[in-house]
A and B are shown apart, each in its own frame.
Chain A
């Protein structure tokens, strides 16, 4: 168990080091995810202990967003000032994104079918 928690931290740390060393705009943990993903591809399976550690983290993934979300308290005035561009970008932007992705995917899947 502890060894797999260590493995996750080692991957994250390696990601942070790579991101800073090469001045990449990609967040360190994302590079850590790629490193772990490549490791799993090479290994060809998910070790049971890693699966348990990963599951316990991801089951409560939503909780981990809360402290950052509470940070809204420091931006309330800005959101109030810019409520129109923000809400329009959120609602219209999200609907347009769903439409474009779904239509492109559906068209390509239809074409690939013999």
Chain B
């Protein structure tokens, strides 16, 4: 039964990827290009060691966004506020990190904790509105994303918390001193951010929390049925609130790699779009930490490898089409697999019932 489940779990993503490759094939053919030559080019470019390094760093950010979204999904929450939460985390982490002087490890820890608390607190607004006022978290989070961007833009003014380095057009926070920076691992002429290890830890902690602890059981129970959880003694509204905050706190880690291993200061140039990516990856990875990891790698691989298309006169945005197709097909594929599984179980149940009955009769 277990092997059966693993098999069906793998079928859906592979089918989705093949579907999107097929669509890519059609689009590229229509443009008069040779699809297989381009696929080959993308693969060799994507697996180039130097590109692999940057893909790894992007994978880590995507992975954390994916886990943040997955925690929300387990509670039936659509955390589209990951963008705003990650910005809040990175910004306040940067500000506090630049303002204090602490011994190396403590300094990094403080920045990480500040980032998580700031992002979690920002998410708690949506949580409060949902639990106490019945506001859909989708609506409040979309607005909170804009508000977060606006607040940070305001605070980044050189008169307040920002600074304008000489010869630069970009306002940014003051630089974090060396004690607050995270080391990198040098391989293949590139540098892998050490936040990689933190991401692995987050993935494991997420899985254990969800599957092994009473807290995780209550979280899943509330997500599966609010009323049943409440009747069983769970403080269901409280669980929704706490889950929103945890999801936000994990989102606060998304920008840590770039901040502590690369730029050492926050600026408006920090990328956006982590909410949609995170949600897509959580769906693709079925909210499982290992699944999300593969999905995150696939995403950053496609984005990086797609850049080579530009040299061939093909817009690299075609990768977005491919990602979109994968997500769409995966949703359908998972639903089909879920129905097949339920039907198989019902059949097994039916078999037992009729066996029991015929036994009873033969007596």
The yes or no verdict on A and B being binding partners is: no
